[in-house]
Amino acid sequence: MALTIEQALQQGVAAHNAGNLKEAERIYRAVLQTQPEHPSANHNLGLIAISANQIEAALSLFKTALNVNSNVEQFWISYIDALVRAQRPIDAKQAIKKAKKKGLDTKKLNTLLSQSKREPDNKMPSDAQLISLLELYQRGRFDDAEKLSISITQKFPKHQFAWKVLGLVCKQTGRLIESLTAMKKSVELEPQDAEAHSNLGNTLKELGRLDEAVISYKQAIALKPEYAEAHSNLGVTLQKLGRLDKAGASYKQAIALRPDFAEAHYNLGVTLQGLGKLDEAETCFTRAIGLKPDYAQAHGNLGNTLHELGKLDEAEASHKQAIALKADYAEAHNNLGNTLHELGRLDEAQASYVRALTLKPDYAHAHQNLGVTLQELGRLDEAEASYKQAITLKPDYAQAHRQLALLKKFDTCDEQYSEMLNQYADANISEEQRCHINFGLAKACEDLQDFEKAFEHYSEGNMLRKKLLKYDISQDIELFKKIKSSYPNIVQHSLEPNKSSPDLTPVFILGMPRSGTTLVEQIASSHSQVTGAGELYFATQFGASIAEGLIESNTDTLLTFREKYLIKLQSVSGNNLIVADKMPRNFLYIGLLAAAFPEAKIIHVRRNSAAVCWANYKQYFSNQGFGYSYDLVDTVSYYKLFADLMEFWDVKLPNRIYNLDYETLTTNPDEETRRLIRHLDLDWENKCLSPQDNKRSVVTASNIQVRQKIYQGSSEQWRKYELFLNGAFDDLRFS
C-alpha cells in the first residue's frame, strides 16, 4: 500500500532522529520529487546539508521552505543560523528583522542576533570589519575595500568572504589575473558557494578563457539551480563562443526564473538577432525596454533590428531615443547614420558618423561607413581617405579593403594588394571576412588583367556570400508566382486618374539591378523639374503585402498604399512635382503601381542579358535581398523569372511601360535622351545630355560610373570571362 506524503515524511523524520541521515535524505528527496516545494521536506533536507557543511545548499533549501511558509519559527532559526555559519552577518541581520516582523521575537532569535553581532575570537574578523568591507565595495571605494580585504586575508587566510570581495575589487579595477587568484581561493575555501563559482566564471570570461568560464557557471547552477544571474552569464559566454542556440536556452531559463530580468531579455534579443530571428528579437528588446525604459543599449539594438526588418522610420526613432538617454553613445550615432543612409538622407548620415568619430576617433566601423556615404555624395577622395583610416585602425578590416579596392586602380606593387593576399592566406579569418577579401582581390586581379584569377576570387566570394545568406532560389520562384496570381484581383480595383493636376507625379525607373537604371535616373534628374530620389523602399514597405496577395486588394487598400507612398515621396521631392524612384526591383510591383498611380510614368531599362547577369554576379550587394546573384545558375534562373514577368506585364498593361534600351542609349545618347524627356512630358534642357555633371548623391553600386561620361562597350565586359563561364550564359537571349 502506497504511503501518503505525510506518512513518508514521518518516516524520514524518524530516520533523521535515529541518525540514519542517508535514509532520511533518500526519503526527503522522494517527497520533493512529488512536491518540489514541500516546506518541511526542504527544511529537513537543509538540516542534513548543514551537518555535511554544505552551507550554500542548505540556504537554498531553507529559503524554499520560507517562501512556502514564512510563519514557521524553526524555518527562520535554521535559515539565520546558516547565514551566520556562512559568515554573512548583514544578511543574517536582515533576516532577523524580517522574522521579527512576523511576530517571531523568541529567545532563540535574540540569541542568533547576539551571535551575529558578537565580536568573534581571534580566529575570525569582527562583523563590523565585514560590514565595513561590504559597504566600501558597494560604494565603489575600491582602494579602501582592497586594503581592508588584504588586511583580513593576511590575518585570517581562510576567511572566504574577504577573498571573494578582494576578487571582485581586482576585477572592477581591471586586474584580472589578481582577481582570478582571489576568486579561485574563494572557491577553494567554500566549494558549495554558488556565487563564488559565478564570480570566478565572470573573471574567466573577461580573460577570454571562455570554456573554463562555462564550467564555473555550470557549477554555480548545479549548486543553485534558481540562480538566474548565473544562467544569464552562461548565456553570454556561450554567445561569445558562437553557440547561439544554447545561449538562447540559458537566457530563457534566466527569464523563467526572473521574468523582470531586463538584461536577460536584452541578451536573448541579441542572440535571436544573430540567429536571424528578427521578429522575436524585436519582441525581446521591447520587453527589456518595458522593464527598464532608460536602457540605452536595448533602444539601440531595437533600432538595429528594426533596420534589418526594413522598418526604417521606427529604427530612426529607436536610435535617437538611445542617444537621448546616452548622448556619448558612439555606436548609436553610427547606427543612426546607417539608418539615415538607407533612408537616402546622406548629409544627415554623414553628420551622425562624424559625431560618432568625435566621440570615438578610433571607431573603424564609423570611418568605413563615412567612406561609403562620402562615396555616394561624389566626394571620392574623401571617401578613399576614410577607407584608408579604417584600415589603419583595423588592418584586417576586410569590408573596408573591398570598398577601397573599388575606388582605385591596382598595380603589382600596390601595398593593399599584398595585404589582401596576406589576409586571404590566413586560415583563421572568418567566412565573412574571406568573402569581402575575395571580392577585393577579384577587383585587383581585374585591374591587373589576370581575369582567370579574378574569376576564381569572384567564384569563391560569391559561394561564401550565398552560404552566409542561406539563399535558396525556390523562395524567389514562389514570390514571382504570388505576384502573377495576385494581379487579377488588383487590376479590377484600379484607381481612376485624378482629373485635377496631382501634387506629385512618380516616375518609376526599374529593371534588373545593374541594368542602367542609375544612369537613366541621373539623366532624368538633370532636368530642373525632376528630383532623383534614388532607390526608395516605399513601394516594398507599403505595397508588397498587396502585390503578393498577403492582404486583400480593394479600393481602400490601394488608396491607403497610394497615400502612404505619396506622403513619403513628398519628404524626398526637393520641392519638384516630378520625382524619380529608381528602385530596380519595383519591376515586381508594376501591376500594383499601375493600378494605384494611373498618372505615373513607368520606365523599364533593358540591357544585354549576359551583361546584366555578369554585372550582378561580380557585385557584392550590401542589401541581403540579392541572394540569387551569388551563383551563376541562380543568376540566370532569376533573370529568366524577371524576363517572363516583364512579358507578363507587357501583355497585361499594353502601352503602359516605356522600354528604354541601355545599349541604344550609350551608342546614341542624344536621340534616346530626347525621347526620354519627351516621354516625361517635359521641355528640353541641354544639361540632360551631361548626366556626369549632376551633383546629386547616388546610393547605388553605380555611384562611381555615373560620375563619368556616357561610354559604350560596358555590356561587353563579361566576354573577358567567357572562357571561364562554362557556357553559363549560352541559353540567354542577348537582347
Q: What is the pLDDT of residues 383-429, one digit of tens each?
A: 999 999 999 999 999 999 999 999 999 998 899 999 999 999 999 99
The residue type of 68 is V
9-20 per-position pLDDT tens digit: 888 877 777 667
Compute the distance between CA of residue 107 and CA of residue 105 in angstroms, rounded to an integer.
7
76-88 per-position pLDDT tens digit: 888 888 888 787 7
* Number of CB atoms found within 10 A of residue 71's CB: 10
Among candidates 333, 361, 326, which has minimal Cα distance to 349?
333
Among candidates 410, 361, 423, which has minimal Cα distance to 386?
361
DSSP 363: -
84-96 burial by CB neighbour count: b if 16+ within 10 A, else e? bebbbbebbbebb
Q: Which residue has the cell 540569541?
A: 111
586 vs 376, higher pLDDT: 586
What is the strand order of the sheet 578-581 is part of? Answer: 530-532, 578-581, 505-510, 601-606, 657-661
Helical spans, DSSP H, in 448-598: 451-469, 474-491, 517-524, 538-547, 555-571, 590-596
Kindly give the interhelix angle for 398-406 and 364-376, rounded to the nearest 10 degrees: 20
Among candidates 138, 119, 115, which has minimal Cα distance to 128?
119
Helix (H, G, I), strand (E, B) or coil at 603: strand
389-403 burial by CB neighbour count: b if 16+ within 10 A, else e? bbbebbeebbbbbbb
Compute the distance between CA of residue 690 and CA of residue 710 in angstroms, rounded to an integer.
8
Which band of pLDDT confidence, cut at 50, 70 and 90, is reported for residue 581? very high
| Section 227-231 average pLDDT | 93
Q: What does the block give as the cell for 703?
A: 555611384
For domain 502-620+655-724, the CATH class is: alpha beta
Which band of pLDDT confidence, cut at 50, 70 and 90, is reported for residue 734? very low
On whether the CB atoms of residues 377 and 697 are closer than 8 A, the answer is: yes
On whether the CB atoms of residues 697 and 378 are closer than 8 A, the answer is: yes
| Section 517-528 average pLDDT | 93
Among candidates 302, 379, 370, 299, which has minimal Cα distance to 340?
370
3-state helix, strand, coil in the chain (%, to 5): 70, 5, 30
Per-residue confidence (pLDDT) for residue 290, from 0 to 100 = 96
Per-residue confidence (pLDDT) for residue 703, from 0 to 100 = 44
| Section 182-203 average pLDDT | 91
Q: Which residue has the cell 583595423?
A: 394
Among candidates 431, 588, 335, which has minimal Cα distance to 326?
335
Which band of pLDDT confidence, cut at 50, 70 and 90, is reported for residue 709? low
Q: Which of 34-43, 214-223, 326-335 has the lowest mean pLDDT?
A: 34-43
Q: If phi over 0 gives left and psi between -120 and 50 gives alpha, with beta otherwise, what is residue 284?
A: alpha
Mean pLDDT highest for which of 3-7, 31-35, 95-99, 699-703? Answer: 31-35
Q: Do domains 5-117 and 502-620+655-724 have the same CATH topology?
A: no
108 pLDDT more than 80 = no
496 pLDDT more than 50 = yes
434 pLDDT more than 60 = yes
Compute the distance between CA of residue 724 and CA of residue 718 in angstroms, rounded to an integer.
10
* Number of CB atoms found within 10 A of residue 419's CB: 16
Report residue 510: phi and psi, to 5°.
-140, 175
706 pLDDT more than 50 = no
Q: What does the block give as the cell for 363?
A: 571607431
Which band of pLDDT confidence, cut at 50, 70 and 90, is reported for residue 122? low
CA atoms lying within 13 Å on the CB side of residue 58: 23
Helical spans, DSSP H, in 394-450: 398-406, 415-425, 431-447
Which band of pLDDT confidence, cut at 50, 70 and 90, is reported for residue 2? low
Round the average pLDDT of the chain to a whole number and report it. Answer: 89
Residues 6 or more apart from 580 whose CB is under 8 A from it?
Answer: 506, 507, 509, 521, 524, 525, 530, 531, 532, 533
Helical spans, DSSP H, in 190-261: 194-206, 210-223, 228-240, 244-257
Helical spans, DSSP H, in 292-329: 296-308, 312-325
* Number of CB atoms found within 10 A of residue 108's CB: 14
Compute the distance between CA of residue 48 and CA of residue 82 in angstroms, rounded to an integer.
12
Which band of pLDDT confidence, cut at 50, 70 and 90, is reported for residue 640? very high
**Cα–Cα distances in Å, from 40 out to 9, 36, 58, 66?**
8, 11, 13, 10
| Section 605-631 average pLDDT | 93
* Number of CB atoms found within 10 A of residue 128's CB: 11
Share of the chain above pLDDT 70, in %: 93
DSSP 30: H
Compute the distance between CA of residue 645 and CA of residue 647 in angstroms, rounded to an integer.
5
Per-residue confidence (pLDDT) for residue 710, from 0 to 100 = 54
Compute the distance between CA of residue 633 and CA of residue 63 in angstroms, rounded to an integer.
64
User: DSSP string covering 149-175, please?
Assistant: HHHHHHH-TT-HHHHHHHHHHHHHTT-
* Number of CB atoms found within 10 A of residue 242's CB: 10
Per-residue confidence (pLDDT) for residue 711, from 0 to 100 = 54
**Cα–Cα distances in Å, from 461 out to 471, 647, 704?**
14, 33, 22
Helix (H, G, I), strand (E, B) or coil at 325: helix
Helix (H, G, I), strand (E, B) or coil at 715: helix
Compute the distance between CA of residue 148 and CA of residue 294 in angstroms, rounded to an integer.
35
CA torsion through residues 204, 205, 208, 212, sign: positive
DSSP 653: S
Query: How many separate helices (H) and strands (E) can be counted in the chain?
Result: 36, 5
Per-residue confidence (pLDDT) for residue 247, from 0 to 100 = 95
Residues 6 or more apart from 566 whose CB is under 8 A from it?
Answer: 503, 504, 506
Which architecture, in CATH terms, is 5-117?
Answer: Alpha Horseshoe (1.25)
Report residue 604: phi and psi, to 5°.
-100, 120
Q: Name the residue ranges covered by the structural domains of the chain.
A: 5-117, 502-620+655-724
| Section 469-486 average pLDDT | 95
Q: Which of 16-20, 116-120, 466-470, 546-550 has the lowest mean pLDDT?
A: 116-120
Per-residue confidence (pLDDT) for residue 506, from 0 to 100 = 96
Q: What does the block give as the cell for 242?
A: 558562437
First to last CA, the chain: 89
